[in-house]
Every structure is written in structure tokens, then in C-alpha cells.
Structure 1
Amino acid sequence: MKTIYAVLALSIASAAFSQKMLEKVEPAFWWKGMKNPELQILVYGKGVANNEVTLSDGIQIKNLQKVENPNYLFITVNTNEINVPKFTINIKNGKKNIGSYSYELKQRNSGSADRSSFTSKDVMYLIMPDRFANGDEKNDSRPDLTEKADRNLPNGRHGGDLRGIINNLDYIQKLGATAVWLTPVNEDNEKVYSYHGYAQTDLYKIDGRYGTNEDYRTLSRELNKRHMMLVMDYVTNHWGVSHWMIKDLPTKDWIHWFNDGENGFKRSNYKITSQFDTNASEIDKKYALDGWFDTTMPDINQKNPLVLKYLTQNAIWWIEYAELGGFRVDTYPYNDKEAMAKWAKAITEEYPKFNIVGETWLSTAGHISAWQKNSKTGEAAGYNSNLPSVMDFILFGEMPKAFHEKESWNGGMNRIYDSFTSDFLYPDVNNLLVFFENHDTERWNEIFNADPKAYKLGLTLISTTRGIPQIYYGSEIGMRGDKKKGGDTDIRRDFPGGWKSDKQNAFNLSAQTPQQKDFFQYTQKLLNWRKGKEVIHSGKTKNFAPQDGVFTYFRYNEKESVMVMINNNDKDQTVDLKHFAESLNGFTKGKDIIADKEFTFQNTIAIPAKTSFIIELEK
């Protein structure tokens, strides 16, 4: 931390370290044919702004912006006016050419602008790459990156990488997932605790311990061949303290820092509800949005137009280069909301089908829904986020309580029912990410003591309700992790079989234990059934208030109807079917897709304890 504080204390105009002319050019290349032809090129080198800049082939510079730090230049060109595949950026001192860079404008892939993205047809599989599988032991540690691999350190680098994921795509595909969300894999060159990737130090470079940019694109293409897709975890709110731009800030206001804080630092108060609170104090809003998420994560100032342009172009660059199928954006409400509305709009205008889900960790549906595009709650606050999708943290929060509790007026399965009563707040309820755990939360199988019945109930719910189901690696084989006792590292355990030295390989279905098979086979059957069910992807929902701990709802459209029953009781229950007459009208039988059991509807239906039915209705 001393490095950044020293830089902040000095004049921005002084260089933090010696460097060659044109040490960096970002983005390193671009594409012709973008809907927005404007391209801003960052040029970095010691004292570069003190020299003359010219472009070859008669290309005109539309804007040349200098900033406080003479080590930076921002060159804007119109790519529609450039008719050569490559041109040269020249840095001249008088008549002497002291630096040059050959800039390439590539041709876009056919259909790039109409790239498909994740929707409610998909199931998202979340992986923490360092803990999943080690496919290339040679990149576990690298001389150019500080932290070395040591699997004995709970919070250290363990060696999982992109090649390990590529090697196990058959497993993920057989499971039934169709989209793969990786926690950040861009370079995170912090001294310790770098495996999580959220303190990025280079936004245009994959961390060498995971592989290369080419490996990342290969993973995406291998997924696309399987009619699957790669979702990038994008971080706009903060960078790592060791980021090269943080070490030598372009402008003082590139990041947020506090004159009255210790060395300029103050931690966020995390009161992100202040974004829409009409009664919030200005100091609370400032600490929420400008405070740092952690000591090693400087808070980025998206209000700075240069910062916003940098983040926007970087996001578009990765979509185009890696052929991505979506973004999940970290800590979304901690960003400046007006700037992020511009960011999301720029991306979705370039790629109209591209989906972006924001991590909106808030405690009310009103607050969460305000972050979804065209939300009435957002509109009431004079805001439209342009963000297509948000995460359903309400359902997430209620699920473990509901499945633990005995039934009561507002407890047990009534919690689930009540959470769905806020669906009217969301402009696109099918574009919610639904989940019961992720890399930041307690493992579901820890909460329920690895009880497969509890897992099956939870998975049934998120897989058959509205929205996009997301599951966390390893839960499909019963993996546990105690966040309360073991911290984040315990909920991010290594997947068994991801390393050559592992005693057991759970990627090999025939080598799974009986318990692992029980978890996996249920997940596999449910998710693969879900793939072809338009009624689940976009059908309507009718919920019936729980009765005696049994929650029943119907997913239906003009062609078909599915009846879902979840019995959370410790005892078998007999349910009166007359109560569901409005949804069963015309249907006389059905088949449970999990047990392959057929039902002929009489007056009642018996459902065993801690069991769910997913019944395709027939006339």
C-alpha cells in the first residue's frame, strides 16, 4: 500500500518508475465495422505527452487529450475514416522519431454483432478457476508474477487454470449446464490472496497462472462448439493496488481517495441503498460509493469520462476478442449509477442480444428491481440503468430459512411464496439470475449437512421457477464448505480430481462415490430435461399458497403445463387436488420427470417427505 500512497502524495506529473517510450498501447488493436466508430487509444510512456504525435497514411486525430501525468496520451480516431488494415502511431521529438507502434484494425467475425448471450434457456455453472482443475502444471508459478503456487496454503494459489476447465468440458456438458461463469481471470498480481481475481492489475491480460489470452478465447470457442457459452466476471468498481495505472495515475481523480483518511484511504460503509434513498445524507452516499471495497482495491471513479471510456472499450474488446456470451458484473451498486447506465447502454447498443447481470446484493425487491433496465421503481427515482439482468438475492436469502423452518404464517415455504409476490416489480422477471449459493456465500450443502434431499429440493426450485438458474461448482457432487468457521477458502475448496495427486477423481462419473452419484444424477436429469422446456424458460407462473408445508406452482403456456410440488415436511403429505382446479382444468394425468412415475389425477395426491414432484401434465 505504501507505493500508491507515495504516488498520491507526489505530483501526478512525476513518473513513478522509469519506462521506455510507448511502453503500453491500449487497446492493443481494434476492429473495423463497429456500430460506434470512435476509438480512444491510450498511449503510455515516460514523458510521451511532451512530444508530437502523428498517424501514418494521412489518418486524422479527432482528439488528442493530455492529462496531468505527461506519461499518458489519449488519442481519438474515427475508424470509419481509416481504410488501411494497419497504421502507425509515431512519437516525434522535433524531426526525430523516438517511438512508434503499428496499430491493427481487424475485420469482425461474421455475425459478431448478433452474438447470442445467456437467457432463461440456460443454466449457469460458476467456477473459481484456481480451485477447479490444474490442466497445465507449468504455469502454476511464474517469474513475472509475485504470488507462487502453494496448495498447502488455504488462501494461496492452488494451480487451477483455463486448460483444466477445457479438459473437463465434457463433465460440465453432461451435467446439463449451458453457460460457464468464471470468477475473474485477468491478471491479479497482488502479493497474497490473489487467487480470487477481484483485485485485477491488468484489464487486457489473462493472468499467466491461468494461461494466455489465446487460452481464454480457446475456452470460449470450445464452449461455443458445444452450444454453450462463456460468461466473464467483469469488475468496474475497483482495481488492484498493484495495477500499473494505479502505480502511476493518469489523473488524480482516476480513483477516489480521501484527504481526511489515513494515507487517502477510507473503507466503504457498504450502504449502497443510499443510491436511491431520497433521505440519505451526502456523507453516507460518498462513503458508500467512493470508499474502497478493501485496502488492496482502490475505488475507480467512473464519473471521469476517460475512466468510463476505458472501461467501456475494454468490455467491448473482450466481447469481440473472446466471443463471450455475457457479463456478470461485480458489486454493481457500488459504482456511479449514471456512468454505469452509459456503460451498459454502449455495450448493448453494440451487441443488442448481449446479456449483462449485475451483482445487486440488496435486501428488498424494490431496491434490486430498480437496477434492472426499464424498471418502474428505477423510473420513480428518475433512473434507468440499461442493465438487462439482476440477481435475485431475495429468493437466495429466503431459501435456507424456508427449508430449515417449520411451517408458519410467514415462515417455512411461505417465505418462498412471499418472495415471488414481488415479481411485479421486475420489468423482465425471466431475466433474473436465481441461485442458492455462490463463491461468496455459505455452501448449501454445508447448511443442510450434505443432505441430498435438501439439495434436490433447492435445485428443483431454482430450476423450475422463472429466471436463469445458477449453480456453484462442486455442489452437484455434494461439496461442502463452512464460511463461518473456515472463511472464504473453505467455500472454495479444490474440486476432487482436478489435480493429478488427488486420491479421487469426481470428474470421472464411474469413479464417483454413491453419495456423489446421487447428487450428480439428480442434477444431470433435471438440467438436461430443462434444456428443451420452453414452458420453463418463458412460460407464465401460477403460485398457490403453501398448505401444510407443501408449495405448489404451475409453469404453463399455450402448449403445455408443468406442475411443481415441493414438500418440505419431515412427513409424507396428502394434498387435495381440488385446490388446484383452475390450473388442472382439462388435465387428467401427468408424469414426474425425475422418478418417471405416472399419476392419474383423482381427488388427492400423496407426496413423500422432503420430496419434490415435477409433473408434466397430460389431458
Structure 2
Amino acid sequence: MKSKLIVLFFFFLVALTQAQVERIEPPFWWSAMHHDELQILCYGKGIAKYNVESKDITISDITKTENPNYLFITLDTKAVETGTVSIDFKENGSVVFSQPYQFKSRRANSAKRKGFDSSDVMYLIMPDRFANGNPENDSHKDTVEKADRSNPGGRHGGDIQGVIDHLDYLKDLGVTTLWSTPLLEDNEPTYSYHTYAQSDLYKIDPRYGTNEDYKRLASEMHKQDMKLVMDYVTNHWGSKHWMIQDLPTKDWIHQWPEGFRRSNYRMTTQFDNNASQIDSKGCMNGWFDTTMPDMNQSNPLLLTYITQNAIWWIEYADLDGFRVDTYSYNDKDGIAKWTKAIMDEYPNFNIVGEVWMHNQAQIAYWQKNSKIGAIDNYNSHLPSVMDFTLHDAITVLFNEDENSWDKGMIKAYDNFTNDFLYPDINNILLFAGNHDTNRINEIYQGDIDTYKMVMTLIFTTRGIPQIYYGDEIGMLGNRDKKGDGDIRRDFPGGWSGDAKNAFLSSAIKNGRTNDQEAFHAFTSKVLKWRKHAEVIHTGKLLQFIPFDNVYVYFRYNEEKSVMVIINNSLKDQKLDVTRFKEGIKSYSVGTDIITDSNIDITEDFSIPAKTSMILDLK
């Protein structure tokens, strides 16, 4: 009888606990972390009425807000050991219920994990449009929007299992790092497939899979010596986020008298000494969209929440990097603290921020230890930024066939003349397109010769190259005419029943078309070479002013040199090798990586029109 009473009391206690604490975040933590404190968010109806104590761990602070459904409990974790501690919730001096909280052991050398760098090639996917590995989760009872592959702006069913199923394809292509657009739950009723309006920061969207699936993806990638980058969103959440539905504090988000005010998107106001306060506030505090409330990173509770959430995902899933969406729209002091906290925890990690600006000085402002930022007494601590100015140039210069003072290949040359602005030039992300831009092959009408010139530049200049999924098979898409869905088409073969499977060689029945094979073969050949070309990863860049729309540059170190030639003119062009003696030095032969042909570089030689060469000098 006594044992039955104990069991009944236990179940009563569990039921009471569940009724009082509906959510606790982070759901668990780890011992031996760099930071000595942990802020636990406890959510439940009227939970703030309780006093909180613990015999197992020191509680250094308890914060109550104007919303009685929240308690923020700060634990001193300096000496915490692996195991479970108990946190008591009291009323009138008596324990009403206790909440267990677990501390786990970290992976060996977790703090020393190495992030992506210039030796890597990053492949960007939109998981909903890449491959459907598990059709059973295309729709889910816990999420509103259901799958509709016929709708360009709807959910199509791609998922984590689909990515895992095609890791061999990425490996064979020469990719070393995967950046997936967000995978956390987005419960908006429409356009939820892009997942930038997140509704739960601790949960993978069930239409993509589970948290365990995401962890398994990282594990499978690591087995193949590949890296996983999470797309992290600090600037905004989704309107359906459970905390947006019941705000912890009024200033958890930026609110406006009229309810909604869209950002003016003028990121220059973040550092413009002449900017008006109303314009600065309009950029930083304005909402990115109606379904994306703008988060207030100057709120210390929120800042700690998103910092711990980011660290939790690194530790839980064993991540290798972050790409941070709309980095320069955040409160700039808050985002700098967020970034520094992560880099303090993982000194060799890497984070690339989306700073979509069109001026090198303005982009460089946001990179760690920027001399430009120092003028403003600002340091973002952000290791990497994206080279949007190179992207701007690439999307127009290959349609400029004639030699000119400011057109054609000179635009690429001029981009690199400003490299002195960046404190870490090799830690810049390079791209010809992404999920927000028109497809590069659309811009150049599917011309493979132009694609080869574009990607020769991306793959061989300084920095970290990034490919947008499908570019390597010539995929097209125009967002200006047909909307975002057109640049986010399904990868052919990712769905059962697709007529063609571009994951497979053209030599296989229903595999890639001949045109797709040509794009793929070039991409794979150069990337496989690049993977082992250390001089491309870290070598210096020596460039020559383009003549006749021909751009020549060298990547070199003490042991090795590579000569890159891009002829963007409509005519075959002859190179005067004496002009390039500074780069050629005593080398006499160059093997073209693209064609496998040997070129005698002791004598003048020609390069065909609209052609590129990558000469491995010997």
C-alpha cells in the first residue's frame, strides 16, 4: 500500500510540474562550458508567483517581467557537473513542485571545433526544394501549411532525409560545406517553406524531420569530412512564434504606434554620422515584413536567450558554422555581443554575416577588427562577410564585351583593388547567386561558356566560394518576372517520379541531360582540383589591369603559382607573356585545369574568345 501511494504521489508531482512549467529553455545544457552562467526561461501560467530555490546549484539571479507567465532563472554553472539538478518552486515557504534540469557531457574538444574557411567550397540549398527523402512528413498535424508541389510559393516536401540521401552527390561534386536555409519550425499559414519566420527556436520543423535527424545530418557529413552551416536568424522571428503570441516583455520586439512599420532597409544609417535618429530607428527597429516581428537585441533577456540558443545548436548538433541572416539590421551593439559570446565559446568557429550592401567600405565595416569600424569605436567580432560587390559586378560584366574604362573585366579588377579595406580578406564569402537573387544562368541565358568564366573567377580568387544549388546543372530562374519560387525550383530528381534525375550522370538512363552534364562536369573538375590546391586557399593575389577585356591574375606562394586568364571579349586574344613576367617568374609550362592541355608560357600564346584558363604553373 505504501509503495502504491509513493507511485501515485510521483505521478501527481509530474502532472503538477507539467501543468506549471509548460516550457523550459534551453531544455538542457552542458557542463564545462566557457560561460559560467546559464539563463533558464521557465514558462507557465502564473509561474512568476513562485519563489525559486535549489539545493543542488547556485541561483545567482531571478528575473520577473510584467508578464506573470515567465521566470528567467540564472544559474551559476562554473562548477556544475554532469547530471541532473533540482529546482524548487515554492509558495508560502513550501515546495509546490520541483523541476529537474540536466547537464550533459560535452564532446571531446568541442570548444576547439574548426569552422569553414577558404579551403572549403560551400553549397547553398533550400531544403524544401532540394530532395524529398521522406514523403510521410510532407505535411504535419502540428503545422498549418500543407504540401502543395504545384504551388511555386508552397511547400514541396524536401527534407533532411533528402539531403542525407544525396551527400554522395555533394561529395562527388567537390563540395566540402553545406549551408541550408533555416530548418527550424516556421508555422506561418503561407510561404512557410523559406523558414525565415520561425515559430520555435528549439525545434526542427517537423516537415523537415526531427532534431535527431538534424544531428544525424551533421554526423553523416562529418563522416565524409564535410561541414554543416546553420542559417541563423537573429533580426526577426515569425509572427506565430509562441513567445510572440505571449510576449515576455513589451520591448521583446520593436513596436510601433501604428502596429506595423516596415524597415526602410537603409543599413547605412547604422554608421552614418550624419543620419537622423528617425531614419536610424526606421532601419534597425522596422520590421522586415508583416509576418516577421523585429527583435530587440538591446533587451538583455532576449540577447541572452538567442545567444544561448545559438550555442545550444552548435553543441547539440555539432555544427561547423553559422550564416547569419540580415546581420546588419540588428541592433549593432547587441549583435556584436552575440557574436563575441559565440566566438569566445568556440575560438576556431566561423560565422558569416549577410551584409547586403554595394560598397566595399560599408561591407568591411562589419568584419571583425575593421579599421573602418574602429573609426566609429565599433567591432562586430564577425569573422566573415559576403562579397556583394563582387556579385554585383559578376551579374553585369560578362555581358560587356568591349574593352572600356569602366566596363567588362575591369569591374572584377576594381573590386579587388579595395581588398585593403578588409581585415581578413581570405575570410570573405564569394558567390554568383543565392536564394534571393536571379539565377546566374538566367542572367546569362544558360550560356555554358559564360558560366565557366563566372565560376572560374569564383573558384580561384581569394575567399570562400559558395554555389547555389542547381547552378552546377545550369538551372534557370527569374524572380523579377516570376517571383521567388522561380529561383527556388525543385532540384530535378529529388522527388520520386521526376522525369529526369540530375543527381545521376547523363550516362545513366533518365540521368542528367547532356547540357546539364556539361555544367556539372566543369564544376566538379575544377572543385576537385581546388580541394587540394592550397595556393588557391591561402596564396596571395597578384592581378593585372585588363586589356582587350582579358583579365589575368595569379594566386601564388613560395612553392606554387597558378595563372588565371579570363577572355571576356568576342575575339581570340594573344597574350604578351613579357607583361606577366612578374607572375610567371621562372615557370615555363602551365597545365590548364579545365582542358588538361599544356601551354608553353615562355612564348606568347592565344586564348579563345569567351574562354577562361586555369594554368597550374610548372
TM-score when scaled to structure 2?
Answer: 0.95
Residues 528-547 of structure 1: pairs in structure 2 closer than 5 A: 528-547=528-547
8 Å Cα contact 2:430/2:458 also seen in 1: yes
8 Å Cα contact 2:81/2:103 also seen in 1: no
8 Å Cα contact 2:82/2:104 also seen in 1: no
Select between 510-519 and 466-475 the one with higher mean Cα deviation: 510-519
8 Å Cα contact 2:31/2:81 also seen in 1: no
Select between 584-593 and 121-130 the one with higher mean Cα deviation: 584-593
- Which residue in the other structure is 2:526 paired with? 526
SS at match of 2:139: coil
Q: Matched residues in 2 for 1:71 and 1:234: separation?
A: 27
Shift of 1:88: 2.0
Shift of 1:30: 0.3
- Which residue in the other structure is 1:570 paired with? 570
Q: 1:313 aligned to 2:312? A: no
- Which residue in the other structure is 2:5 paired with? none
The residue type equivalent to 2:31 in the other structure is K
- Which residue in the other structure is 1:274 paired with? 269
Select between 84-93 and 214-223 the one with higher mean Cα deviation: 84-93
- Which residue in the other structure is 1:8 paired with? none
Of residues 418, 424, 431 in structure 2, which corresponds to 1:428?
424
- Which residue in the other structure is 2:462 paired with? 466
- Which residue in the other structure is 1:364 paired with? 359
Q: Matched residues in 2 for 1:162 and 1:192: separation?
A: 21
Of residues 155, 171, 188 in structure 2, which corresponds to 1:190?
188
SS at match of 1:256: coil
Shift of 1:90: 2.8
The residue type equivalent to 2:27 in the other structure is A
Select between 81-90 and 42-51 the one with higher mean Cα deviation: 81-90
Shift of 1:202: 0.5
Residues 55-70 of structure 1: pairs in structure 2 closer than 5 A: 55-57=54-56, 59-70=57-68
Which residues of structure 2 form unaligned runs of 5+? 1-17
The residue type equivalent to 1:112 in the other structure is S
The residue type equivalent to 2:250 in the other structure is K
Shift of 1:96: 5.8
Q: Matched residues in 2 for 1:408 and 1:83: separation?
A: 67
Q: Matched residues in 1 for 2:243 and 2:87: separation?
A: 21
Shift of 1:224: 0.6
8 Å Cα contact 1:139/1:209 also seen in 2: yes
8 Å Cα contact 1:122/1:531 also seen in 2: yes
- Which residue in the other structure is 1:382 paired with? 377
Q: Matched residues in 1 for 2:547 and 2:420: separation?
A: 23
Deviations 1:464-489 (A, max 9, x none): 00000000001101111111111110
Q: Matched residues in 2 for 1:314 and 1:485: separation?
A: 38
Q: Matched residues in 2 for 1:299 and 1:483: separation?
A: 25
Select between 45-54 and 182-191 the one with higher mean Cα deviation: 45-54
- Which residue in the other structure is 1:503 paired with? 499
- Which residue in the other structure is 2:595 paired with? 595
Shift of 1:52: 2.1
Q: 1:51 aligned to 2:50? A: yes
The residue type equivalent to 1:577 in the other structure is V
- Which residue in the other structure is 1:171 paired with? 169
Q: Matched residues in 2 for 1:358 and 1:99: separation?
A: 43
- Which residue in the other structure is 1:483 paired with? 479
Percent sequence identity is 58
Deviations 1:567-611 (A, max 9, x none): 111221111111101111211111111111111124311101111
- Which residue in the other structure is 2:122 paired with? 124
8 Å Cα contact 2:30/2:82 also seen in 1: no
Shift of 1:55: 2.4
Residues 144-543 of structure 1: pairs in structure 2 closer than 5 A: 144-259=142-257, 261=258, 264-406=259-401, 407-509=403-505, 510=508, 511-543=511-543
Select between 429-438 and 83-92 the one with higher mean Cα deviation: 83-92
Q: Matched residues in 2 for 1:396 and 1:374: separation?
A: 24
Q: Matched residues in 1 for 2:183 and 2:265: separation?
A: 25
Deviations 1:21-59 (A, max 9, x none): 1000000000001011211100000000011222243x2
SS at match of 1:195: helix
Q: Matched residues in 1 for 2:312 and 2:184: separation?
A: 13
Q: 1:614 aligned to 2:602? A: no
Shift of 1:84: 5.5
8 Å Cα contact 2:32/2:80 also seen in 1: no
Q: Matched residues in 2 for 1:30 and 1:22: separation?
A: 17
Deviations 1:110-130 (A, max 9, x none): 010111110000000000000
8 Å Cα contact 1:22/1:99 also seen in 2: no
Shift of 1:98: 4.3
Which residues of structure 1 form unaligned runs of 5+? 1-18
Shift of 1:160: 0.2
8 Å Cα contact 1:117/1:353 also seen in 2: yes
Deviations 1:205-262 (A, max 9, x none): 0000000000001001111111101000000000000000000000000000112x2x
Q: Matched residues in 2 for 1:443 and 1:497: separation?
A: 19
Deviations 1:40-80 (A, max 9, x none): 100000000011222243x2211011111110001111112
SS at match of 1:74: strand
SS at match of 2:275: coil
Select between 206-215 and 598-607 the one with higher mean Cα deviation: 598-607
Q: Matched residues in 2 for 1:136 and 1:318: separation?
A: 23
- Which residue in the other structure is 1:33 paired with? 32
8 Å Cα contact 2:297/2:331 also seen in 1: yes
Shift of 1:340: 1.0
Q: Matched residues in 1 for 2:521 and 2:73: separation?
A: 55
The residue type equivalent to 2:372 in the other structure is T
Shift of 1:612: 0.6
8 Å Cα contact 1:21/1:98 also seen in 2: no
Q: Matched residues in 1 for 2:146 and 2:20: separation?
A: 31
The residue type equivalent to 1:616 in the other structure is D
8 Å Cα contact 1:22/1:100 also seen in 2: no
SS at match of 1:241: coil
SS at match of 1:101: strand
Of residues 141, 147, 151 in structure 1, which corresponds to 2:139?
141
Q: Matched residues in 2 for 1:568 and 1:83: separation?
A: 62
How many residue pairs end up in the alignment? Answer: 596
Shift of 1:533: 1.0
Q: Matched residues in 2 for 1:90 and 1:209: separation?
A: 36
Q: Matched residues in 2 for 1:341 and 1:503: separation?
A: 48
8 Å Cα contact 1:89/1:101 also seen in 2: yes
8 Å Cα contact 1:136/1:163 also seen in 2: yes
Shift of 1:97: 4.6
Shift of 1:101: 2.7
8 Å Cα contact 1:267/1:292 also seen in 2: yes
Shift of 1:555: 0.2
Q: Matched residues in 2 for 1:82 and 1:345: separation?
A: 23
Q: 1:279 to 1:356 in 2, by over 3 A?
A: same
4+ runs deviating over 6 angstroms: none
Q: Matched residues in 2 for 1:616 and 1:137: separation?
A: 46
Q: Matched residues in 2 for 1:228 and 1:244: separation?
A: 34
Of residues 81, 98, 101 in structure 1, which corresponds to 2:99?
101
Shift of 1:402: 0.9
RMSD: 1.1
8 Å Cα contact 1:206/1:212 also seen in 2: yes
